[in-house]
Amino acid sequence: MIKSTLQNTINQLDELVEQLTPEDYKRKEEMLSGSSIGMHVRHIIEFIECVLQGQESGVICYDDRQRDEILQTDTQEASRRMRMCHRAIQTCNSNQIIDLAGSYCVENSKPYSVKSSVERELAYNIEHAIHHMAIIKIAVKQLFPYVTIPAHFGVAHSTISYEASQSA
């Protein structure tokens, strides 16, 4: 279930990216605090890639992600990498225990490590992606009305379930 939910989330994001012009994708916008939709997409992709790469090393460190700028300027490369993530998620070992490393304090940059699992990090990436997709949705609705956005784009699954229960 976690894998397919993350794959569906990636598909939604990819469908939106495919509708944007390359110029709109990479344009920095005040509404996004000076970032671009492409920068948010890059961030989402790289977090997912951290999990997939962390399976090999046994360590996931979101701080050490690649920050590949082509992902934030080239819609075709972003779509290609999302498709790669989609395929890799299907075959990853959700039960694998890994170390989650990161610097969680500005005053002390020494990495701290906690035990986690690939499945837990895939679940985190669903929420992380949805959070950024909600921000993207706000900007797209205001700035790029030619883009069709699904009703549930950038909406947490718990919110969708809650709203459905209230209208029943």
- The single-letter code of the amino acid at 152 is H
Would you state the pLDDT for residue 107? 77
The boundaries of the domain holding residue 101 are 2-167
The sheet that has 97-102: what strands, in order across it?
59-60, 97-102, 112-117
CATH number of residue 118's parent domain: 1.20.120.450
Residues whose CB falls within 8 Å of the CB of residue 43, separated by 6 or more in sequence, listed in order = 132
Residue appearing with tokens 């509404």? 31
**78 token code pair:** 């972003």
What are the structure tokens assigned to 158, written together?
A: 């718990």
Q: What is the pLDDT of the chain when averaged over all its residues?
A: 94
How many Cβ atoms are within 10 Å of 131's Cβ, its own excluded?
A: 14
For the stretch 5-38, pLDDT in tens is 999 999 999 999 999 999 999 999 999 999 999 9
pLDDT digits (tens, 9 = 90+) for 118-159: 999 999 999 999 999 999 999 999 999 999 999 999 998 888
Question: Is the pTM here over 0.85, yes or no?
Answer: yes
Task: Indicate the number of domains in the chain.
Answer: 1
